[in-house]
Structure 1
Amino acid sequence: MFLNTAISPLLLLLSSSLAEALPYGDGHDANVDSLDWKPCDLEFPDTVKAAIKVPIDCATLQVPLDYTNPKSGKLDLQLLKVNATKEPVEGSVIFNPGGPGNSGVEEVAQQGPLYRDTLGGHYNIIGFDARGTGRTIPFICNPELLASGLGSDSGALSRRNSPYSALPEQLDVYELLKKNWNTTAKYIETCVETQKENATFYGTAFVARDMLAIVDALKEDGLLRFWGRSYSTILGQTFAAMFPDRVGRLLMDSTLTPDDYYRGGWLSATRDVEATLSNYFNQCIEAGPTLCPLANYSGSDTTSKSLMNALSEVFEYLRENPILLAEEIQAIQPEWWFPPGSMTVYYKLKASIMNGIFSPAAFGGVTKTISDALARNWTTYTDPSTIPDIPGAENVSLADLTWSIGLDRFHGIACGDQAYRAKSPEEMYSLIQAQSAQGSFSDAFSPKVWVCAQWPFDAAEKPKGNWSEITTNFPVLFINSRFDPITPLSGAWDASSRFKGSRLLVHEGHGHGIMNHRSNCTVKAIEDYFSKGELPEVGTTCKPNMNAFKQIAAGEGSGRDSESPE
């Protein structure tokens, strides 16, 4: 049973409002073969296999490698499906976990039942590996890292990867940029050497066309049903802008704003980190010291504000008394903008805290991190003996440990999409200042995207238009957590304002991704949207079922919504 009637050929011709004119067609092929689903036999790493709890089916779909050139050859997209459990089956929902660069195949293999059940069991859940992700033309600048033993080259794992401004900034980010400008250029030279043949084919607009091909191959009603998280809200918005009449249902979970992404500013990303950290402290105090020892840091006088002040003093101390990570520890998780032996505890602590508040599932780790910091205990960063010993690591390759082997996929996708380029650090000065104004955690994130300023490749297609007043066949539903450290609620309001008839539901939970902090109210709104075509009332908010610490203690895990844009 499908709630929307099949679309007419005329609508297909009119459906590309922000699609760039291509030399041939709009990517639609009404004669595309049906998908041949079979039980999966993919060579997942053991950790992924252990997490798969239900039967999964797989299929491949051939799409053009280059939509601008009909002679470019074909690309095999890997698809994976978790089947609906209830009749009537109402169709298929494509899920993509974001990144850019996270694997939809891996995510749905492990978490597909969660998304299926959230939708009431009436939809198949389909994941696919977009270009550059999983094993789909993986974007990796140094292929030798794939075969490296982890013991001999632990750096192989390195690239896997508001009103609140109470905490001090330590990094002089402009000086950091100047020191590492040439390092970036050398890294890019490696990418040019190995990726020049396909580097322009990883863009989001091409992935949107790939999704259109998947929709056609499903042979349902020709309309996309999509749940996108984080970067995948860019993918969803891009599809909606290029093919508005092909939208059946579009759920945007934890939203990035399209013009900020495509420009390459990344100006909104860290606006709510301190608000999210403050909420983490509030959740901790509400849960009590049994579940969160920090709740008793100042005895009965402990408040979120007192914990923020204490942490601020830690960062002030580290700014005035720089402490370097042990080189062996930096080698495990290096950052390209820190030469060996130069990474500070200040930076690593700030980055660890930011990552740790992405999801309640990570609260145990971030609680220990903050507790150690408040006690001025830096051994995790300065004592190499704290590095866990992994027997036989030197004989294990990266490909044995992860399905997503494209180590440089974030830059391969995002940098090609983005317009911003600079020829010198001086040209970037204004952007650096704008990024630094976005809260005290900006120095823990913005260096990750600086590579794009020197990127030599442009995506072969980029959406055209001004991202305003886009009318889709069916309204878009945006849902955003109020306390999200990387996709702030303000960005979701901005994005929603660009799509006529769309609605935004505020999820009052914690974390990046609405399934992290469970809410029956939010789940019902999602199910009603997909199955009944109902949008929540204007101004709707949904509270989580329980305190985040109590949720984890009760054994109610979270979806894997905890990854930042790399």
Structure 2
Amino acid sequence: MLNRSSFVLLAAASTAFALTEFNWTSIEPSTSLNWTACYADGLDCARLLVPLDYASPNNSTTAALAITRFRSTSPSSSYRGPILLNPGGPGGSGVEFAVVYGSEIAGIVGAEYDIVGFDPRGVSFSTPTISWFLNDAERALWYPPNQNTVLPSLNETALGLPYAYARAQVQSQLAAARDADFLQYMTTDYTAQDMLTITEAFGFEKLKYWGVSYGTVLGQTFAALFPDKVERVVIDGVLPIDDWYSANLTETMLDTNQVLDAFFTSCFEAGPSVCAFHNNASSPSDIATALVDLLLSLQQKPVPAVASLTAGNAGYGVVDYSLVKNVIFQSLYQPYKEFPALAQALADLAAGNASTIYAASGPQEFTCEPGAAPVNKMFEAGASITCTDVRLNDTLADLQSYYAGMAAISEFADVWVPVRIACAGWKVHRPGQYTGPTGPTNTSAPLLVIGNLRDPVTSWPGANQTAEVLFPGAGFLTYNASGHTSFIAPSTCLDAYVGAYFRNGTLPPAGAVCQPDVQLFATNASARADGGGVSRRGVPGLTMGGMGTRKGLFSF
């Protein structure tokens, strides 16, 4: 794992919002927060030095965390400190998240707080940055630029899983050979300790935090390691912490098919004038059959696509089963925004025009020319953090069995199991690192857990288990919506509960359920998810990136 509107579970080609207008190297890293105006009015940036190895904090080796704050606008007498954010991944940029959504999140939680995004160690603008390759050309030769958003389906050929397994072992050896000493410190438990260091640098003792998707793993890890340092922690789109550290992601897909069913049902109800893939169907099952037929045809006959041949735009390639399966899966993250565009892309493809869906599959261009945008490293960051967190010794037979179990639950297992396959052969681990909970954790203040009723990659039962079993006393809020995390669509109800929690610790009543303020395939433009929300608003059009959405292989 945001469109309040992505390794393992969940990663944008550096996210959909590539921020290049501020030079982070102009800031000298420091052990205190020395703020510099950046990006836009109301935003400040700093680089905070933290120990690379918290087990040897007096060692001179450090990491420099990139931190951005949307400043509190309240008087100093009512200032309540920082709320830290994490948009998921692992590998998502908290800096970019705060720049894009800081003011809107402040509108929910109150002006008394700084809204703080930080890039976790090894990620994006923080240094040193995780990278397995010597340069962008080597990276692009090993995996295509859209690797962050399109994973080869294990169903596409009989060798799909064995081939992915072999590539993963190459990647594991490459990472260990080039970055082993550094990578062993790129773990969730050390990032959790970084969050405490950041909080203390602001002059506060306890954490205030809102994490989504993989950010819920980070929040749970913090709560498990520092239970007496919890003041307000919201985890939203929950992956249970024990599932993460065991790399057992099967139950994350319990609700995936329900979100796809919501596409068929809402498309049918909207009608052909709103849903382009309707085809005058007589029932939702007719639309489902049309999609199955389209996918089967692609397995037999991929189609050419030429989205653009203009200068500087490599908008051409082949649309195959893997690409379309990934695009459909991605749309399940943000159905309120993406479903209308998905329907149009599928209708165009069925009519012989593959360019629409190809253009949605992520960046296709790579160039060595001076001044070219760097290739995104989110795939490497996500894989490195995830695989260093878990300890696996999977054989090919183990993974085949794991795949069979997940495939029995969801038809999208073929593009989700590669998350675990990517850790095959991974040997980089730190002695003494946190490996998961040994039982329930009682915290100094209760967590607020938010679970969507139909979430494609972090199921509602997992969120419920986290609130009831792993963190007794936590508040639990059900969001009766389809998609990943609460950021998929605006909800006045949900914002009110979150705001009350941050302001005074009030938890939702038992059994509380919120509804979105919009509908799937809404015909009224003002009621569409792209008309408002904390990027629960989104950007019109079918995309495969963005905050809180699946951004690639490691995209929780």
- Residue 56 of structure 2 is matched in structure 1 by 69
Q: Which residue of structure 2 aligns with residue 448 of structure 1?
A: 419
Deviation at residue 160 of structure 1 after TM alignment? 3.1
3-state DSSP class of the match of 1:453? coil
Q: Pick from 276, 293, 297: which aligns with 2:279?
A: 297
Aligned partners of 1:482 and 1:507 also within 8 Å: yes
Number of the residue aligned with 2:73: 85
Q: Relative to 1, partners in 2 of residues 1:391 and 1:138: Cα closer, same or farther, differing over 3 Å? A: closer
Q: Contact conserved, 1:203 with 1:460, CA < 8 A, in 2?
A: no
Residues 448, 396 of structure 1: CA spacing in aligned structure 2 closer, same or farther, 3 A cutoff?
farther
Q: In the superposition, relative to structure 1, how do residues 549 and 172 fare at CA in structure 2: closer, same or farther (>3 Å)?
A: closer
Q: CA deviation at 1:187?
A: 2.5
Q: CA deviation at 1:317?
A: 4.2
Task: Provide closer, same or farther for how the CA distance between residues 195 and 325 of structure 1 changes in structure 2, counting only shifts above 3 A.
Answer: farther
Cα deviation for residue 272 of structure 1 reads: 1.9
Secondary structure of 1:85's match? coil
Structure 2 residue 128 is matched with structure 1 residue 143? no
1:366 to partner: Cα distance: 1.3
Partner of 1:539: 511
2:89 aligns with 99
- The amino acid of 2:209's aligned partner reads F
Match of 1:200 among 155, 178, 184: 184
Q: Tell me, yes or no, if the aligned pair for 2:68 and 2:116 is still in contact at 8 Å.
A: yes
The AA in structure 2 aligned to 1:310 is: A
Match for 1:486: what amino acid? V
Tell me the alpha carbon deviations over residues 270-321 of structure 1, each in whole angstroms, 9 at most, x when there is no partner. Answer: 3322211222333444445444333x4225x3x43332232233334445x3
Shift of 1:326: 7.7
Does the residue aligned with 2:184 lie in a helix, a strand or coil?
helix
Residue identity matched to 2:513: T
Preserved contact between residue 133 and residue 409 of structure 1 (Cα < 8 Å):
yes
Question: Once the 2 structures are TM-superposed, how far is the Cα of residue 406 of structure 1 from its aligned partner?
Answer: 4.9
Partner residue, 2:466: 495
After superposing the two structures, state which structure 1 stretch, 67-76 or 508-517, moved more. 67-76
Report the CA distance between 1:121 and its aligned residue.
2.7
Structure 2: runs of 5+ lacking an equivalent: 1-29, 537-546
- The question of whether the paired residues in 2 share the 8 Å contact of 1:417 and 1:459 is answered with no
Please state whether the residue corresponding to 1:141 is helix, strand or coil. Answer: coil
Decide which moves more: 545-554 or 137-146. Answer: 545-554
Map 1:435-514 to 2 at 5 A.
Answer: 435-463=406-434, 466-497=437-468, 498-514=470-486
Q: Deviations over 1:72-113 (max 9, x none)?
A: 522111111001234533221001101000000111011111
Change (3 A) 1:467 1:173: farther
Partner residue in 1 for 2:528:
552
Q: Which amino acid aligns with 1:245?
A: D
1:147, CA displacement in angstroms? 9.5
Does structure 1 conserve the Cα–Cα contact (< 8 Å) formed by 2:477 and 2:512? yes
1:108 is aligned to 2:98: yes
- Matched residue type, 1:277: L
1:228-243 superposed matches below 5 A? 228-243=211-226
> Out of 176, 194, 197, which is 1:210 matched to?
194
Q: Which residue of 2 aligns with 1:323?
A: 302
Query: 3-state SS of the aligned residue for 2:424?
Result: helix
Q: Deviations over 1:455-483 (max 9, x none)?
A: 12124543256453210111111112222
Contact kept, 8 Å, 1:147 with 1:397, in 2: the verdict is no
Partner AA of 1:482 in structure 2 = L
Q: Give the residue type in structure 2 aligned to 1:60.
A: R
Of residues 22, 33, 40, the one that matches 1:35 is: 33
Aligned to 1:224, which of 207, 211, 225?
207
String of CA shifts for 1:106-139, please: whole Å, max 9, x gaps.
1101111121111133321001110121122221
Secondary structure, counterpart of 2:237 in structure 1: strand
SS in 1 for 2:251: coil
Q: Which moved more, 1:192-201 or 1:404-413?
A: 404-413
Greater RCO structure (CA 8 Å; 6+ sep): 2
Alignment partner, residue 46 of structure 2: 59
Deviations 1:510-565 (A, max 9, x none): 32121221110000000011102110011110011121443337722524322254
Number of aligned pairs?
Answer: 493
Tell me if 1:313 matches 2:267: no
- Superposed counterparts of 1:90-489, under 5 Å: 90-136=80-126, 137-145=128-136, 157-161=145-149, 171=155, 175-220=159-204, 222-294=205-277, 296-298=278-280, 301=282, 303-319=283-299, 321-323=300-302, 345-359=320-334, 360-373=336-349, 375=350, 377=352, 379-380=354-355, 394-399=369-374, 405-422=377-394, 424-463=395-434, 466-489=437-460
Shift of 1:436: 2.4
Q: Tell me what 2:26 maps to.
A: none
- CA distance in 1 between counterparts of 2:43 and 2:466 reads 34
Question: CA separation of 1:546/1:451 partners in 2, compared to 1, >3 Å: closer, same or farther?
Answer: closer
Post-superposition Cα deviations, 1:428-458, rounded to whole Å, max 9, x if no partner, equal 3332322322311110221233020211212
- How far apart, CA to CA, are the structure 2 residues paired with 1:306 and 1:417? 44
The offset of 1:256, in angstroms, is 0.6
2: CA distance, partners of 1:245 / 1:146:
47
On the 8 A contact 1:228/1:235 being kept in 2, the answer is yes
Aligned counterparts of 1:382 and 1:225: Cα–Cα separation in 2: 40
Are 1:60 and 1:77, in contact at CA under 8 Å, matched by a contact in 2? yes
The verdict on how the C-alpha distance between 1:383 and 1:38 changes in structure 2, with shifts beyond 3 A counting, is: closer
State whether residues 325 and 381 of structure 1, in contact with CA within 8 Å, keep that contact through their aligned partners in structure 2. Answer: no
Amino acid at match of 1:267: T
Q: Aligned partners of 1:391 and 1:427: how far apart in 2?
A: 36
Q: 2:154·2:161 contact (CA, 8 Å) conserved in 1?
A: no
SS in 2 for 1:58: strand
Give the match's secondary structure for 2:423.
helix
Amino acid in structure 2 at the alignment position of 1:429 = Q
Asked whether the 8 Å contact 2:224–2:437 carries over to 1, the reply is: no
Deviation at 1:387, TM superposition (A): 11
> CA distance change for structure 1 residues 180 and 479 in 2, over 3 Å: closer, same or farther?
closer
Contact 1:511 1:562 in 2 (8 A): no
* Structure 2 Cα separation of the partners of residues 520 and 429 of structure 1: 44
Asked whether the 8 Å contact 1:254–1:513 carries over to 2, the reply is yes
Moved more, 408-417 or 542-551: 542-551
1: CA distance between counterparts of 2:297 and 2:138? Answer: 41
CA–CA distance in structure 2, aligned partners of residues 212 and 555 of structure 1 = 36
Moved more, 175-184 or 470-479: 175-184
Which stretch shifts more, 345-354 or 534-543?
Answer: 345-354
Distance 1:532 1:111 in 2: 23
Q: Distance in 2 between matches of 1:313 and 1:466?
A: 45
Residue number in structure 2 paired with 1:19: none
User: Partners in 1 of 2:441 and 2:448 — Cα distance?
Assistant: 14
For residues 233 and 214 of structure 1, the distance between their equivalents in structure 2, rounded to whole angstroms, comes to 18
Whole-Å separation in 1 of the counterparts to 2:242 and 2:529: 40
Q: Is the 8 A contact 1:135 1:406 kept in 2?
A: no
